[in-house]
Structure 1
C-alpha cells in the first residue's frame, strides 16, 4: 500500500501534516471515494487515525490521516492547544486537499472522527455541504466535558470557579510569557482509578499506542485549553446535517450517553447508531476485532456513491 507524507494549509494559514493512504490495487486512471480521518483528542496520525486510514485504504478509499493544528507534525503556535473553530476548520482543510487530488471523485468525500475529533467532524459536516458521509467512533463531546463534566454533573457555581481558575492561569501565563501545560497526567493514574482512565493510560503510555508527538503520551495540553470549549458552540447545528452520519460507540464506553444524545439530535433517514457489544471506549481506537470496519465500509460505500 502506497503511503505519502503530505502538507496542506487551513484557512487560518496553519500548515497541517498528513499521511495519504492510496487504495489497495490503486490505478492512476480511476477516481476513488475519499475520507479525511482525525482523532482521538490528544492523538497523532501515527496512532488510531492512521490505523483507520490504512484499513479504509485497503477497502478501496483514498484515506488522509492528519495531525490537527498545534499538535504532532502540524504547525501552529502555541503548541498543545485546541480550539473548536480551528480544529473544525482542520477537517475543512483536509476536504480542500482531497478535492484537489486528480484521483479523488470530488462528489464522494467523507469524514471519520475518532474520540473528541468526532465532534469536530460532525461540526464540519454541519457547515460543509461537500461532505456526503460522516463516521464518528467513540464519540467524545469535548465542550460538554469541559463545561459540564461527565453526566452534566457540574453546577453553575462550580463552572464559575473553574473559569476563575482558568482566568487566573491566563494571567500567570501572560505575566511569565509562557503557556503552562497540565503535565503528564496519565502517569499519575492510580490503580483504583475508573476503568476509562486506566484504559487511557494503557493505550497512550505503553508500546500499544505511545507516540512521542502525542499530547496524551507526553506533556499534556496547555492548562487554558478548556476556555475556548466552554465559551464556544460545538455541534450546535447537527440537526441540519443532510449528509449521512454513522455513530459507532462501545456498549460499555463511559461516553456512550454522549453518543446517544447527539444521535437524537440528528435528523433524516440516513443517520445510524451502531453500539458495539461489550466494547469499551478505548477498544475502538485499535482493537481490530472490536472496530466494526465492515459496518463502516458498508455505510461509506452506500452513501459515497
Structure 2
C-alpha cells in the first residue's frame, strides 16, 4: 500500500493528474471534433487568424489542432512552429496562447491536442505514450510541411511542461525539425519511473510495476480502464504544497479551466504510467545537435531540475534561460513573464526569418 500511495503522490504532483474512468465512444469523439463553439482561456488577437484543422499521425489517429497565421504576413512562405503541452492540457489553453503570440510575430503556429486527449482521436481516452506523443509532433511537422504558404525547411517545435520532453525527443529523431524550444520542462518518463528528485527506491519501483500489472489484468477482465484516486482538490484546505496550489490556481479557476482539459475536469487512466516506466525520453538528446536547443525554466519552479539536467545532457548549440522569481505555471499563461521576445529571436535566427521591421526597411530603401 505504501507503494500505491507513493505512485499516487507522484501522479498527483505531475501537473495535477486526475484519475477516473473516462471512456468515450467513437460517436462522442466525432461530436467533439465538430465543436463549432470552442471555449478558450484567452482572447483571439486581432493580428492573427485561427483555423481548426485535423491531420493523422503515423498510427492513423486523427489529431485536432488550431492553425494560427499572421493576418498580414510580410514574408512568404512562412516559417512554422508545432506546439503542444502542458501534460494534461488542451490547445485552448497554454499551447494556443503560445501559438497566437508566435503568429503575431510572423510565424505560422500549430497548437495541437495530443492523441487520446482533447478533440483529438484515439481510444481509450486520456492515456499518454512516450512513443505516440513524440510521433504527434512529427505528424504536426508532416501537416505543416504540406501547406502551400509554409516553408517545410523552416519548421521548429515548442514543447511546454510534459510535452517539452516529448518535443525534445521528437527533435532528436526528426531531422526535419530545425530548432526546438521548451518551457517549464518535465521529463515524464523520469518522473513516472523514479518519482520526484529520483526518490523512488528500487523496491518501490518494483512494487509499483507489480501493482500496475495486476491492474492490467483487472482492466482486461472488466473490459474497461480503471482509475487511481489521485486528483487535484476541488477546494484548497491550506495544507497543500505550493506547487499544488499553483496548479489549482491555473487548472481549477477561470484563469485556465477548460472542460476538455484532463487536469481541469477529466482524468488519466490508472495504468497511464506503464509505458513511461522503462522508455527514457531523452536517451538521444545529444542527437538534436547541430540544431539548436532553447530551454526556459522558472527560477522558483519545482520542475527546474528537469530543465537543468536536460541542458547538461544536450550538445551545443544550446541555451538555458532562467526566468527570475517565476514558478512552473507562470510560463503557462503569464504574458509579462513568458519570454516571447526571446522565443521570437531564437526562431528568427535559427529558422532564417527576416523580421517585419527589417523587411519594411529594405522596402523603403528600394
**TM score, norm. by length of structure 2:** 0.81
- Give the structure 1 partner of residue 98 of structure 2: 52
Distance in structure 1 (CA, Å) of the matches to 2:153 and 2:58: 22
- Give the structure 2 partner of residue 197 of structure 1: 244
Q: CA deviation at 1:32?
A: 0.7
Q: Choose the corresponding residue for 2:146, options 100, 118, 123.
A: 100
Q: CA deviation at 1:149?
A: 0.8
Deviations 1:54-80 (A, max 9, x none): 000000000000000000000000100
Q: Choose the corresponding residue for 2:80, options 11, 34, 39.
A: 34
Structure 1, unaligned runs of 5 or more = none
Spell out the pairing of 1:288-299 with structure 2 (5 A cutoff).
288-299=335-346
Residue 131 in 1 paired to residue 177 in 2?
A: yes
- Give the structure 1 partner of residue 257 of structure 2: 210
Spell out the pairing of 1:51-70 with structure 2 (5 A cutoff).
51-70=97-116
Q: Choose the corresponding residue for 1:247, options 287, 295, 307.
A: 295
Q: Is the 8 A contact 1:183 1:219 kept in 2?
A: no
Residue 226 in 1 paired to residue 273 in 2?
A: yes
Bigger CA drift: 172-181 or 88-97? Answer: 172-181
Distance in structure 1 (CA, Å) of the matches to 2:59 and 2:87: 20
Distance in structure 1 (CA, Å) of the matches to 2:256 and 2:219: 31
- Give the structure 1 partner of residue 42 of structure 2: none
Residue 280 in 1 paired to residue 327 in 2?
A: yes
Bigger CA drift: 186-195 or 170-179? Answer: 186-195
RMSD between aligned residues: 1.2
Local SS of the residue matching 2:73 = coil
Q: CA deviation at 1:183?
A: 5.5
The structure with higher relative contact order (CA 8 Å, sep 6+) is 2
Residues paired across the two proteins, number: 303
Q: Choose the corresponding residue for 2:282, options 222, 235, 238.
A: 235
- Give the structure 1 partner of residue 36 of structure 2: none
Distance in structure 1 (CA, Å) of the matches to 2:346 and 2:282: 22
Q: Is the 8 A contact 2:190 2:280 kept in 1?
A: no
| Higher Cα radius of gyration | 2
- Give the structure 2 partner of residue 89 of structure 1: 135
Structure 2, unaligned runs of 5 or more = 1-47, 353-366
Local SS of the residue matching 2:51 = strand
Q: CA deviation at 1:233?
A: 2.6
Local SS of the residue matching 1:8 = strand
Q: Is the 8 A contact 1:9 1:15 kept in 2?
A: yes
